[in-house]
Structure 1
């Protein structure tokens, strides 16, 4: 059915992901508070992989990514993890910016939109 909305990881406040018309939008993924930027990024990306797999798709289908960082001084550290994770030839449109995150212990938040298979 066209326009059917499917939700993944439904919670009281938000869902981990919502799909409609062949697209899935993921909520922002964060790592463990207090971990290094690299470890938080790894955790974020593992959660992206998990949610996309639950929806029947994968990171080769990511259309766009938004990455919020508590401090842009950590950009290179985050990118070292991102570059090892993102499939070459399937890099999405991406924007990275600095913002206050939900708590000072969060250093990275990753938000993606992907096409379903």
Structure 2
């Protein structure tokens, strides 16, 4: 099996393509000074870029996990999510509350998408 690692950093890859799937690492905002809605939009932009690098897009997402540091921010997160989401291709999604490594981060999102078929 071929494994492709995308956007590699010191401790992780931003995404891994293996077994017909794209596994996204938890993505956080590049600009932690933004509010929850802004951080979410920034993360979704990053997810779009990673999926494009993997040769696919958000329509191929099958599962997403959203972590909020304050579940009371769900409405703000959902505003950015709803603006980004393709309503004909909604993934399964779970949203939970948990602390994140950097207290400035309000949102972290991870997911799994189908990888494009290789011929």
Q: Indicate whether the TM-score tops 0.5.
A: yes
Among 22, 25, 29, the alignment partner of 1:24 is 22
- Give, in angstroms, the shift of residue 56 of structure 1: 0.3
How far apart, CA to CA, are the structure 1 residues paired with 2:9 and 2:80?
A: 28
How far apart, CA to CA, are the structure 1 residues paired with 2:71 and 2:9?
A: 31
How far apart, CA to CA, are the structure 2 residues paired with 1:66 and 1:104?
A: 19
How far apart, CA to CA, are the structure 1 residues paired with 2:71 and 2:33?
A: 17
CA RMSD of aligned residues (A): 0.7
Q: Which runs of 5+ in 2 are unaligned?
A: none
2:111 corresponds to = 112
Among 6, 13, 16, the alignment partner of 1:15 is 13
TM-score by length of 2: 0.94
TM-score by length of 1: 0.95
Deviating beyond 6 angstroms after TM superposition, the runs of 4 or more aligned structure 1 residues are none
How far apart, CA to CA, are the structure 1 residues paired with 2:100 and 2:3?
A: 28
**Superposition pairs of residues 36-75 of structure 1, within 5 angstroms:** 36-75=35-74
The alignment covers a number of residue pairs equal to 115
How far apart, CA to CA, are the structure 2 residues paired with 1:52 and 1:13?
A: 20
How far apart, CA to CA, are the structure 2 residues paired with 1:64 and 1:95?
A: 8
How far apart, CA to CA, are the structure 1 residues paired with 2:109 and 2:27?
A: 5
Partner secondary structure for residue 83 of structure 1: helix
- Give, in angstroms, the shift of residue 113 of structure 1: 0.5
Q: Which runs of 5+ in 1 are unaligned?
A: none
Per mean C-alpha deviation after superposition, the further-off stretch among 4-13 and 37-46 is: 4-13
1:6 corresponds to = 4
How far apart, CA to CA, are the structure 2 residues paired with 1:83 and 1:68?
A: 16
How far apart, CA to CA, are the structure 2 residues paired with 1:33 and 1:27?
A: 18
